[in-house]
Each structure stands twice: as C-alpha cells, then as structure tokens.
Amino acid sequence: MQRRSGPKERAQGIDADRVARLLAWYERHGRRFLWREGADDYGLVVAEILLRKTRADAVVPAYNEFAGGSPTPEALRRASVAEIRGLVRHLGLGVQRSDQLKQAAADLVAREDVPTYETRAIAGIGDYGAAAIDVVARGDA
C-alpha cells in the first residue's frame, strides 16, 4: 500500500506548533520498532495482535521470528496452527491469538487486490488496532 501524507502534512491548521513539538520530542525519545519501519499492513496487523495486553519489549523477539519465518501474509496463511502457536507460546499467548493471526493472514491475502478495505474487518483487530494501522500504514487520521 502507498503511504499517504504523514503527520507533518496533516498538522497544518491543527495547532501546528504543538504538533511540531510533539514530533520533535518523538524524534528524540520515541521507541523504534521494526513493525513501524516498513509500515505495511501485514507487519502492523501481526504487531497489533501480538501487542494486545503484552509489553512491546516482550513482543520484539516474537515479531522478529514472524518476520523471518512468515514474512508475508501468504506464508503465515500456509503455516500450521502448531507453528504459529510455537512462535507466540513464550509470550504466554494462547490458542485464540494464534487463530487470530492465521485468520488475519487469510483476510489480508483475500484483500490483496482490493485497493481499500475496512481494516477493522481483519480478524483479531479491534477499533484501536485498526486506527493505529490506518495511521501508520496509510497516514489516515
């Protein structure tokens, strides 16, 4: 997916000074995570499902395993549920989250050729996760 205008472009007319200070603070102090770097739907969906009720620093190793072992939605869709459970087990995540990851991958594969779709309709993604994905991947506010 193509990235749309970023926060700096959208900040015009919305207390631009406050937004500029916030962005400057983030550049100096914000935590950097692999799932924010590529800003693609798949990586963000995996991250949002893993991050739910889990500390970000604990998710990093599991996310890195997903990026290496199932680097695309198609690869994750083809993975067995047992393989997925093995990747999330050390986070203390159960069957439900593994099933959500597998279904989310299938949802993304099914929507691959659709230019826009409702992020909230992806398995395992709630309102907050959908908003986060839309903002980071597409610049939607």
Reported as a single tens digit per residue, the pLDDT across 1-33 is 444 455 555 545 577 888 888 889 988 998 888
Per the structure, how many domains does the chain have?
Answer: 2
- pTM score, whole prediction: 0.75
Q: Are residues 121 and 54 in the same domain?
A: yes
Q: What are the pLDDT digits (tens) for 40-91?
A: 788 899 999 999 888 999 999 888 888 887 888 999 999 998 888 888 888 8
Measured CA to CA, the distance from residue 33 to residue 59 in angstroms comes to 10
Q: Are residues 131 and 92 in the same domain?
A: yes
CATH code for the domain of 83: 1.10.340.30
Q: Are residues 51 and 117 in the same domain?
A: yes
Domain of 7 in residue numbering reads as 1-30
